[in-house]
A = this chain, B = another copy of it.
Amino acid sequence: MKDGTELSKLGEFGLIDRIARQISNRSEVVLGIGDDAAAFTPSPGRLSLITTDMLVEGIHFDLSFCDPLSLGRKALSVNLSDIAAMGGEPRYFLLSLAIPPTMTLDFVDSCINGMLQQAEQFGVQLIGGDTCSSPGPFILTLTVLGEQAPGMIVRRSGALPGDKICVTGTVGDSALGLQLLKQGEKRGSLSARHLDPVPRVLEGRALAEAGIPSSMIDLSDGLLADLGHILDLSAVGARIAAETLPLSEQFRHHFPTVTEEALSLALAGGEDYELLFTVPPEKIPDVFSLLNTLGTPVTVIGTITEERTVTVIGPHGTEISLSRKGYDHFSPRDGQ
Protein backbone atom coordinates (compact mmCIF):
# COMPACT_ATOMS: atom_id res chain seq x y z
CA MET A 1 0.00 0.00 0.00
CA LYS A 2 3.04 2.26 0.21
CA ASP A 3 3.44 2.17 -3.53
CA GLY A 4 2.45 5.03 -5.80
CA THR A 5 1.36 2.56 -8.46
CA GLU A 6 -1.55 1.59 -6.18
CA LEU A 7 -3.24 4.75 -7.34
CA SER A 8 -2.79 3.94 -11.02
CA LYS A 9 -4.12 0.41 -10.41
CA LEU A 10 -7.14 1.81 -8.62
CA GLY A 11 -7.70 4.34 -11.43
CA GLU A 12 -9.55 7.62 -11.50
CA PHE A 13 -13.02 6.08 -11.27
CA GLY A 14 -11.86 3.63 -8.61
CA LEU A 15 -10.70 6.55 -6.48
CA ILE A 16 -14.01 8.36 -7.01
CA ASP A 17 -15.97 5.20 -6.04
CA ARG A 18 -13.77 4.78 -2.99
CA ILE A 19 -14.58 8.32 -1.86
CA ALA A 20 -18.28 8.06 -2.77
CA ARG A 21 -18.71 4.91 -0.65
CA GLN A 22 -17.77 6.90 2.45
CA ILE A 23 -20.55 9.45 1.96
CA SER A 24 -24.18 9.15 2.99
CA ASN A 25 -26.45 11.63 1.25
CA ARG A 26 -28.71 14.00 3.12
CA SER A 27 -32.34 14.18 2.05
CA GLU A 28 -31.80 17.58 0.38
CA VAL A 29 -29.15 16.00 -1.87
CA VAL A 30 -30.96 14.73 -4.95
CA LEU A 31 -27.74 13.62 -6.66
CA GLY A 32 -24.36 13.36 -4.97
CA ILE A 33 -21.06 12.06 -6.37
CA GLY A 34 -21.27 10.10 -9.63
CA ASP A 35 -23.33 12.05 -12.19
CA ASP A 36 -22.35 14.95 -14.45
CA ALA A 37 -23.27 17.43 -11.73
CA ALA A 38 -24.55 17.26 -8.17
CA ALA A 39 -28.12 18.38 -7.49
CA PHE A 40 -29.61 19.58 -4.22
CA THR A 41 -32.67 21.45 -2.99
CA PRO A 42 -31.73 24.88 -1.66
CA SER A 43 -33.55 25.87 1.53
CA PRO A 44 -36.56 28.04 0.64
CA GLY A 45 -36.14 31.72 1.42
CA ARG A 46 -32.41 31.52 2.13
CA LEU A 47 -29.49 32.92 0.19
CA SER A 48 -26.91 30.52 -1.24
CA LEU A 49 -23.31 31.27 -0.28
CA ILE A 50 -20.35 29.90 -2.21
CA THR A 51 -16.59 30.16 -1.82
CA THR A 52 -13.58 28.39 -3.29
CA ASP A 53 -9.91 28.08 -2.33
CA MET A 54 -7.07 26.38 -4.13
CA LEU A 55 -4.20 24.88 -2.12
CA VAL A 56 -1.00 24.29 -4.06
CA GLU A 57 1.96 22.25 -2.78
CA GLY A 58 5.01 24.50 -2.47
CA ILE A 59 2.83 27.61 -2.13
CA HIS A 60 0.23 26.87 0.54
CA PHE A 61 1.76 23.80 2.11
CA ASP A 62 5.04 21.95 2.36
CA LEU A 63 4.81 18.17 2.39
CA SER A 64 8.08 17.94 4.32
CA PHE A 65 6.29 19.08 7.48
CA CYS A 66 2.64 18.68 6.73
CA ASP A 67 0.85 15.41 7.54
CA PRO A 68 -1.89 14.35 5.11
CA LEU A 69 -4.67 14.14 7.71
CA SER A 70 -4.11 17.76 8.82
CA LEU A 71 -3.74 18.88 5.22
CA GLY A 72 -7.14 17.42 4.38
CA ARG A 73 -8.69 19.01 7.45
CA LYS A 74 -7.10 22.38 6.72
CA ALA A 75 -8.14 22.38 3.04
CA LEU A 76 -11.76 22.21 4.18
CA SER A 77 -11.26 24.49 7.19
CA VAL A 78 -9.97 27.46 5.19
CA ASN A 79 -13.10 27.31 3.02
CA LEU A 80 -15.40 26.86 6.02
CA SER A 81 -13.73 29.93 7.49
CA ASP A 82 -14.92 31.99 4.50
CA ILE A 83 -18.51 30.87 5.03
CA ALA A 84 -18.08 31.66 8.75
CA ALA A 85 -16.94 35.18 7.86
CA MET A 86 -20.26 35.73 6.03
CA GLY A 87 -22.16 34.46 9.07
CA GLY A 88 -23.34 31.51 7.00
CA GLU A 89 -24.12 27.88 7.68
CA PRO A 90 -21.87 25.63 5.54
CA ARG A 91 -23.77 22.76 3.88
CA TYR A 92 -21.97 21.05 0.99
CA PHE A 93 -18.58 20.91 -0.63
CA LEU A 94 -16.84 19.83 -3.82
CA LEU A 95 -13.28 18.55 -3.98
CA SER A 96 -10.90 18.64 -6.94
CA LEU A 97 -7.56 16.87 -6.66
CA ALA A 98 -4.56 16.91 -8.98
CA ILE A 99 -2.31 14.10 -7.76
CA PRO A 100 1.38 13.66 -8.70
CA PRO A 101 2.24 10.13 -9.87
CA THR A 102 4.68 9.67 -6.98
CA MET A 103 1.99 10.17 -4.34
CA THR A 104 0.86 7.04 -2.48
CA LEU A 105 -2.72 5.92 -2.15
CA ASP A 106 -2.17 5.95 1.63
CA PHE A 107 -1.38 9.64 1.51
CA VAL A 108 -4.45 10.45 -0.59
CA ASP A 109 -6.65 8.29 1.66
CA SER A 110 -5.42 10.04 4.82
CA CYS A 111 -5.92 13.45 3.26
CA ILE A 112 -9.50 12.62 2.29
CA ASN A 113 -10.14 11.05 5.69
CA GLY A 114 -9.03 14.27 7.38
CA MET A 115 -11.32 16.26 5.17
CA LEU A 116 -14.29 13.97 5.81
CA GLN A 117 -13.63 14.08 9.58
CA GLN A 118 -13.75 17.86 9.49
CA ALA A 119 -16.81 17.75 7.20
CA GLU A 120 -18.68 15.59 9.69
CA GLN A 121 -17.76 17.84 12.58
CA PHE A 122 -19.10 20.91 10.79
CA GLY A 123 -22.10 19.19 9.20
CA VAL A 124 -21.05 19.60 5.55
CA GLN A 125 -21.43 16.91 2.90
CA LEU A 126 -19.14 16.13 -0.03
CA ILE A 127 -21.36 16.11 -3.14
CA GLY A 128 -18.94 16.20 -6.07
CA GLY A 129 -15.56 17.03 -7.50
CA ASP A 130 -12.91 16.06 -9.95
CA THR A 131 -9.69 14.03 -9.86
CA CYS A 132 -6.76 14.07 -12.25
CA SER A 133 -3.03 13.54 -12.28
CA SER A 134 -0.57 16.39 -11.82
CA PRO A 135 2.75 16.76 -13.63
CA GLY A 136 4.03 18.82 -10.68
CA PRO A 137 2.62 19.76 -7.30
CA PHE A 138 -0.26 18.19 -5.38
CA ILE A 139 -3.22 20.55 -5.74
CA LEU A 140 -6.53 20.66 -3.93
CA THR A 141 -9.38 22.98 -4.89
CA LEU A 142 -12.37 22.98 -2.59
CA THR A 143 -15.65 24.77 -3.11
CA VAL A 144 -17.97 25.15 -0.13
CA LEU A 145 -21.66 25.99 -0.37
CA GLY A 146 -23.52 27.49 2.53
CA GLU A 147 -26.69 29.39 3.24
CA GLN A 148 -28.16 32.08 5.42
CA ALA A 149 -31.28 34.23 5.63
CA PRO A 150 -31.01 37.28 3.33
CA GLY A 151 -30.94 39.84 6.15
CA MET A 152 -28.39 37.94 8.22
CA ILE A 153 -25.27 37.78 6.04
CA VAL A 154 -22.39 39.98 7.16
CA ARG A 155 -20.38 41.80 4.50
CA ARG A 156 -16.98 43.42 4.55
CA SER A 157 -18.52 46.76 3.67
CA GLY A 158 -20.62 47.68 6.71
CA ALA A 159 -18.08 49.15 9.18
CA LEU A 160 -18.97 52.64 10.49
CA PRO A 161 -16.86 55.25 12.32
CA GLY A 162 -17.03 54.61 16.05
CA ASP A 163 -17.51 50.84 15.64
CA LYS A 164 -15.25 48.72 17.80
CA ILE A 165 -12.90 46.24 16.12
CA CYS A 166 -13.02 42.76 17.63
CA VAL A 167 -11.06 39.60 17.01
CA THR A 168 -11.72 36.04 18.20
CA GLY A 169 -8.97 33.88 19.73
CA THR A 170 -5.35 34.90 19.37
CA VAL A 171 -3.30 36.24 16.47
CA GLY A 172 0.19 35.51 15.13
CA ASP A 173 0.26 31.89 16.28
CA SER A 174 -0.01 30.40 12.81
CA ALA A 175 2.79 32.55 11.36
CA LEU A 176 5.03 31.81 14.35
CA GLY A 177 4.10 28.14 14.11
CA LEU A 178 5.13 28.11 10.45
CA GLN A 179 8.50 29.67 11.38
CA LEU A 180 9.03 26.94 13.97
CA LEU A 181 8.00 24.21 11.50
CA LYS A 182 10.56 25.55 9.04
CA GLN A 183 13.14 25.33 11.80
CA GLY A 184 12.30 21.66 12.32
CA GLU A 185 9.92 21.85 15.28
CA LYS A 186 7.08 19.48 14.47
CA ARG A 187 4.95 19.49 17.61
CA GLY A 188 3.39 22.08 19.83
CA SER A 189 0.28 24.17 19.77
CA LEU A 190 1.83 26.93 17.62
CA SER A 191 2.62 24.61 14.73
CA ALA A 192 -0.79 22.98 15.20
CA ARG A 193 -2.37 26.42 14.73
CA HIS A 194 -0.65 26.54 11.34
CA LEU A 195 -1.25 22.93 10.28
CA ASP A 196 -4.79 22.42 11.56
CA PRO A 197 -6.60 25.71 12.16
CA VAL A 198 -10.14 25.61 13.59
CA PRO A 199 -12.60 27.61 11.50
CA ARG A 200 -14.89 29.84 13.58
CA VAL A 201 -18.07 28.53 11.99
CA LEU A 202 -20.25 28.49 15.11
CA GLU A 203 -19.02 31.93 16.17
CA GLY A 204 -19.57 33.57 12.78
CA ARG A 205 -23.04 32.20 12.42
CA ALA A 206 -24.07 33.03 16.00
CA LEU A 207 -22.80 36.61 15.68
CA ALA A 208 -24.60 37.05 12.35
CA GLU A 209 -27.88 35.56 13.55
CA ALA A 210 -27.79 37.84 16.61
CA GLY A 211 -27.39 40.79 14.24
CA ILE A 212 -24.24 41.96 16.02
CA PRO A 213 -21.39 42.66 13.53
CA SER A 214 -21.50 45.59 11.10
CA SER A 215 -18.76 43.91 9.04
CA MET A 216 -16.74 40.69 9.27
CA ILE A 217 -13.80 38.92 7.62
CA ASP A 218 -11.64 35.92 8.45
CA LEU A 219 -7.91 36.32 9.05
CA SER A 220 -6.15 34.58 6.19
CA ASP A 221 -3.76 37.18 4.74
CA GLY A 222 -2.83 38.82 8.06
CA LEU A 223 -4.68 41.11 10.48
CA LEU A 224 -3.76 44.45 8.87
CA ALA A 225 -4.29 43.17 5.33
CA ASP A 226 -7.67 41.66 6.15
CA LEU A 227 -8.72 44.68 8.20
CA GLY A 228 -7.64 46.66 5.12
CA HIS A 229 -10.26 44.84 3.02
CA ILE A 230 -12.97 45.91 5.48
CA LEU A 231 -11.65 49.50 5.57
CA ASP A 232 -11.46 49.76 1.76
CA LEU A 233 -14.95 48.41 1.21
CA SER A 234 -16.44 50.41 4.09
CA ALA A 235 -14.54 53.62 3.16
CA VAL A 236 -13.29 54.13 6.70
CA GLY A 237 -10.02 53.95 8.68
CA ALA A 238 -8.94 52.37 11.98
CA ARG A 239 -6.91 52.86 15.13
CA ILE A 240 -5.48 49.71 16.65
CA ALA A 241 -3.95 49.52 20.14
CA ALA A 242 -0.97 47.16 19.82
CA GLU A 243 -1.01 46.21 23.49
CA THR A 244 -4.55 44.89 23.23
CA LEU A 245 -3.64 42.37 20.51
CA PRO A 246 -4.61 38.92 21.83
CA LEU A 247 -1.44 36.83 22.03
CA SER A 248 -1.46 33.22 23.19
CA GLU A 249 0.50 31.96 26.18
CA GLN A 250 2.73 29.99 23.79
CA PHE A 251 3.32 33.09 21.69
CA ARG A 252 4.24 35.12 24.82
CA HIS A 253 6.48 32.29 25.96
CA HIS A 254 8.38 32.62 22.67
CA PHE A 255 8.39 36.43 22.88
CA PRO A 256 8.57 37.40 26.60
CA THR A 257 8.74 41.02 25.42
CA VAL A 258 6.70 42.10 22.44
CA THR A 259 9.46 42.83 19.95
CA GLU A 260 9.01 44.34 16.53
CA GLU A 261 9.13 40.81 15.10
CA ALA A 262 6.37 39.70 17.48
CA LEU A 263 4.23 42.67 16.52
CA SER A 264 4.85 41.98 12.86
CA LEU A 265 3.75 38.35 13.25
CA ALA A 266 0.62 39.40 15.12
CA LEU A 267 -0.32 42.17 12.69
CA ALA A 268 0.85 40.79 9.37
CA GLY A 269 1.25 37.02 9.87
CA GLY A 270 -1.38 35.11 7.93
CA GLU A 271 -3.58 32.06 8.36
CA ASP A 272 -4.91 32.52 11.87
CA TYR A 273 -8.45 31.91 10.55
CA GLU A 274 -9.87 33.91 13.42
CA LEU A 275 -12.80 36.25 12.78
CA LEU A 276 -12.20 39.99 12.67
CA PHE A 277 -15.42 41.99 12.96
CA THR A 278 -16.68 45.47 13.73
CA VAL A 279 -19.50 46.21 16.17
CA PRO A 280 -21.38 49.35 17.24
CA PRO A 281 -20.08 50.17 20.76
CA GLU A 282 -23.45 49.55 22.44
CA LYS A 283 -23.41 45.94 21.23
CA ILE A 284 -20.02 45.09 22.78
CA PRO A 285 -21.65 43.49 25.87
CA ASP A 286 -23.65 41.23 23.52
CA VAL A 287 -20.42 40.16 21.80
CA PHE A 288 -18.86 39.08 25.09
CA SER A 289 -21.95 37.33 26.38
CA LEU A 290 -22.55 35.46 23.13
CA LEU A 291 -18.96 34.34 22.59
CA ASN A 292 -18.65 33.49 26.27
CA THR A 293 -21.47 30.96 25.91
CA LEU A 294 -19.49 29.39 23.04
CA GLY A 295 -16.31 29.39 25.14
CA THR A 296 -14.50 31.52 22.56
CA PRO A 297 -12.23 34.35 23.68
CA VAL A 298 -12.80 37.72 22.01
CA THR A 299 -10.84 40.97 22.28
CA VAL A 300 -11.54 44.58 21.33
CA ILE A 301 -8.39 45.77 19.57
CA GLY A 302 -9.37 49.17 18.19
CA THR A 303 -11.91 51.56 16.74
CA ILE A 304 -13.11 52.42 13.24
CA THR A 305 -12.35 56.04 12.28
CA GLU A 306 -13.80 58.41 9.74
CA GLU A 307 -10.29 59.34 8.58
CA ARG A 308 -9.22 56.70 6.08
CA THR A 309 -5.86 55.78 7.58
CA VAL A 310 -4.67 52.94 9.76
CA THR A 311 -2.82 53.86 12.93
CA VAL A 312 -1.33 51.34 15.31
CA ILE A 313 -0.71 52.77 18.78
CA GLY A 314 2.42 51.24 20.30
CA PRO A 315 3.05 50.18 23.90
CA HIS A 316 4.10 53.68 25.01
CA GLY A 317 1.39 55.60 23.22
CA THR A 318 3.56 56.20 20.19
CA GLU A 319 2.07 55.78 16.76
CA ILE A 320 3.66 52.95 14.81
CA SER A 321 3.71 53.20 11.07
CA LEU A 322 3.17 49.74 9.69
CA SER A 323 2.52 48.39 6.25
CA ARG A 324 -0.95 46.96 5.84
CA LYS A 325 0.55 44.42 3.53
CA GLY A 326 -0.20 40.76 4.06
CA TYR A 327 0.42 37.79 1.87
CA ASP A 328 0.16 38.60 -1.84
CA HIS A 329 0.58 35.62 -4.12
CA PHE A 330 2.20 37.51 -6.97
CA SER A 331 4.60 39.65 -4.98
CA PRO A 332 8.22 38.54 -5.50
CA ARG A 333 9.04 39.72 -1.96
CA ASP A 334 6.61 37.33 -0.36
CA GLY A 335 7.26 33.74 0.44
CA GLN A 336 5.47 31.47 2.78
Q: Is A286 an interface residue (CB 8 A)?
A: no
Chain B hits for A328, CB < 8 A: 11-13
Q: Is A299 an interface residue (CB 8 A)?
A: no
Binds B, one of A149-157, A240-248, A254-262: A149-157
| A319-333 near B? 1/0 per residue, CB < 8 Å | 000000000111110
Once bound together, how far apart are the Cα atoms of A48 and B38, in whole Å? 8
B48 and A98: CB pair below 8 A?
no
Chain B hits for A60, CB < 8 A: 132
Chain B hits for A30, CB < 8 A: 47, 150, 153
A217 and B36: CB pair below 8 A?
yes
Chain B hits for A157, CB < 8 A: 35
Q: Is A291 an interface residue (CB 8 A)?
A: no
| A86-120 near B? 1/0 per residue, CB < 8 Å | 10100010101111010000000000000000000
Given contacts A30-B150, A143-B94, A329-B12, contact A52 B136 (CB under 8 A): no
Q: Is A294 an interface residue (CB 8 A)?
A: no
Q: Is A82 an interface residue (CB 8 A)?
A: yes
For chain A, residues 126 to 155, give those with C-beta under 8 angstroms from any C-beta of chain B. 127-137, 139, 141, 143-146, 148, 150, 153, 155
B48 and A39: CB pair below 8 A?
yes
Chain A interface residue number, banded: 35 or more
Q: Is A58 an interface residue (CB 8 A)?
A: yes
| A1-23 near B? 1/0 per residue, CB < 8 Å | 00001011011110100000000
Q: Is A184 an interface residue (CB 8 A)?
A: no
Once bound together, how far apart are the Cα atoms of A12 and B98, in whole Å? 23
Across the interface, name the chain B residue whose C-beta is closest to A41. Answer: B47
Across the interface, name the chain B residue whose C-beta is closest to A105. Answer: B330
A330 and B10: CB pair below 8 A?
yes
Given contacts A37-B88, A52-B128, contact A59 B134 (CB under 8 A): yes
| A36-58 near B? 1/0 per residue, CB < 8 Å | 11111110100111111110111
A136 and B133: CB pair below 8 A?
no
Once bound together, how far apart are the Cα atoms of A49 and B35, in whole Å? 11
Across the interface, name the chain B residue whose C-beta is closest to A99. Answer: B330
Chain B hits for A332, CB < 8 A: 5, 8, 101
Across the interface, name the chain B residue whose C-beta is closest to A40. Answer: B48
A39 and B153: CB pair below 8 A?
yes
Given contacts A8-B330, A52-B129, A153-B30, contact A47 B39 (CB under 8 A): yes
A96 and B132: CB pair below 8 A?
no
Chain B hits for A50, CB < 8 A: 37-40, 92, 94, 127-128, 143, 145
- Smallest CB-CB A-B distances: 8 pairs: A136-B136, A37-B51, A36-B85, A58-B135, A141-B141, A42-B42, A132-B329, A54-B96
Question: What would 9 more interface pairs be, CB under 8 Å, given A30-B47, A52-B129, A139-B139?
Answer: A12-B328, A36-B217, A38-B50, A44-B44, A51-B128, A54-B139, A98-B139, A101-B332, A134-B137
